[in-house]
Amino acid sequence: MRHDALQVSGLSTGYRDRQIIQSLSLPVFRPGEVHSLLGPNAAGKSTLLRALAGLQPATGSVKLGERELIGLSLAEHARRVTYMPQTLPQGVALSVLESVLGALQASATDHPGDVGGKAGHDADQRRAVAILERVGILHLALEGLDHLSGGQRQLVSLAQSLVREPRVLLLDEPISALDLQHQLRVMRLVQELARERGMIAIMVLHDLQIAARWSEGIVMLSQGAVVATGTPAQAITPDTLARVYGVQARVEHCSRGGLQIMVDDVLPGALPAGARR
Ligand SMILES: Nc1ncnc2c1ncn2[C@@H]1O[C@H](COP(=O)(O)OP(=O)(O)O)[C@@H](O)[C@H]1O
Ligand SMILES: [Mg+2]
């Protein structure tokens, strides 16, 4: 397994007539690390992740080890970076297992040495079943996707991403529909897999407490620009929370490590978070 760091510098991206991110640079993401991308609605978090995944046009540099990813074909890009979208598409008439196998086969070119035929099929089945088990949804394997709850669909989407064994995994609000126990299970699983595989995980989260507990690094984004980066304790402060979210908050450092974040109020005169000044 190769362990390459991800380095983003001078990245610009946006939509037809609107630049969302302008020459953005980030600290290095190292293999095995989990990072959280925080920021208000419309800050550009999803746009940034999609640009990193090669799913929308971008300029600048995104390097994985020595390899420049900007300008690679989508297939070449997808071999290295997987993006888990905020929502699974509706109206897909597949079982959970079929959808995970589909995600695996869509990435089949990643593994040119793979055996085809029955042996290959059996190996794919084993890999899909193993990931369903790890995500804790093996009991849903034969359910139709359209019969699942929002939280269950989110777990399936996670399994579809993980089964591809990407070197960089970008997760867009992966726990937004999950109950408390499943939120923690997913965070733990992503951390374990990052460490086992030397994978880099970057996740968009809204829960600051969870981000602080599970991330090596934090990137705070507001209006397409980086406001703070560093360890959770460096990046999540009353000052950055005021600037990014327009809230009045207290941040206490617990004796066992970790942060306790208490959000008390909306700051007087604050615009709705994400509103352009
Ligand atoms: N497909 C699109 N076309 C045009 N503008 C878009 C598109 N998707 C998002 N945007 C705009 O880009 C900005 C950032 O959106 P997004 O990256 O989705 O924010 P976040 O994920 O932080 O909530 C928003 O102002 C949004 O309206
Ligand atoms: Mg988003």
Domain residue spans of the chain: 6-266
Determine the distance from the C-alpha atom of residue 274 to the mean position of all C-alpha atoms in its chain, rounded to a whole number: 20
The protein residues having their C-beta less than 5 angstroms from ligand 2 (an ion) are 45-46
The confidence score (pLDDT) of residue 89 equals 77
Q: Is 38 helix (H, G, I), strand (E, B) or coil?
A: strand
Q: Is 35 helix (H, G, I), strand (E, B) or coil?
A: strand
Q: Which of 20, 219, 244 to mutate to test the pocket of ligand 1 (most atoms within 8 A of CB)?
A: 20
The confidence score (pLDDT) of residue 223 equals 95
The confidence score (pLDDT) of residue 275 equals 64
Question: What residue has token string 């995104």?
Answer: 62
Q: Which of 11, 13, 15 to mutate to test the pocket of ligand 1 (most atoms within 8 A of CB)?
A: 15
Ligand number, closest to the Cα atom of 20:
1
Q: What is the pLDDT along the chain (277 residues), one digit of tens a residue?
A: 567 999 999 999 999 999 999 999 999 999 999 999 999 999 999 999 999 999 999 999 999 999 999 999 999 999 999 999 988 777 788 999 999 999 998 876 555 555 567 777 889 999 999 999 999 999 999 999 999 999 999 999 999 999 999 999 999 999 999 999 999 999 999 999 999 999 999 999 999 999 999 999 999 999 999 999 999 999 999 999 999 999 999 999 987 778 999 999 999 887 765 565 5
The confidence score (pLDDT) of residue 257 equals 72
Beta carbons of 168 and 52 less than 8 angstroms apart: yes
Q: Which are the contacts of 139, defined by CB distance < 8 A and separation ≥ 6?
A: none
Task: For residues 149 and 242, give the distance between their C-alpha atoms in angstroms, rounded to a whole number.
Answer: 35
CA of 42 to the centre of ligand 1 (A): 6
For the domain spanning 6-266, the CATH number is 3.40.50.300
Does residue 38 line the site of ligand 1, with CB under 6 A?
no
Q: Which of 11, 16, 18, 47 to mutate to test the pocket of ligand 1 (most atoms within 8 A of CB)?
A: 47
Strand residues in 165-213 grouped as ranges (E)? 168-172, 200-204
The confidence score (pLDDT) of residue 256 equals 74
Beta carbons of 202 and 168 less than 8 angstroms apart: yes
CA of 18 to the centre of ligand 1 (A): 10
The confidence score (pLDDT) of residue 90 equals 79
Does residue 39 line the site of ligand 1, with CB under 6 A?
yes
The confidence score (pLDDT) of residue 2 equals 62
Q: Is 139 helix (H, G, I), strand (E, B) or coil?
A: helix
Beta carbons of 221 and 37 less than 8 angstroms apart: yes
Task: For residues 193 and 196, give the distance between their C-alpha atoms in angstroms, rounded to a whole number.
Answer: 5
Regarding beta strands 217-222 and 34-38, do their DSSP bridges make them parallel or antiparallel, or are they unpaired?
Answer: parallel
Helix crossing, 96-106 with 117-135: angle to 10°?
Answer: 120
CA of 39 to the centre of ligand 2 (A): 9
Rg of the Cα atoms in the chain: 19
Residue bearing the CA closest to ligand 1, atom 25 = 42
Task: For residues 183 and 191, give the distance between their C-alpha atoms in angstroms, rounded to a whole number.
Answer: 12
Regarding beta strands 81-84 and 34-38, do their DSSP bridges make them parallel or antiparallel, or are they unpaired?
Answer: unpaired
For residue 61 the two structure tokens come to: 């540099």
Task: For residues 186 and 225, give the distance between their C-alpha atoms in angstroms, rounded to a whole number.
Answer: 28
The confidence score (pLDDT) of residue 115 equals 58
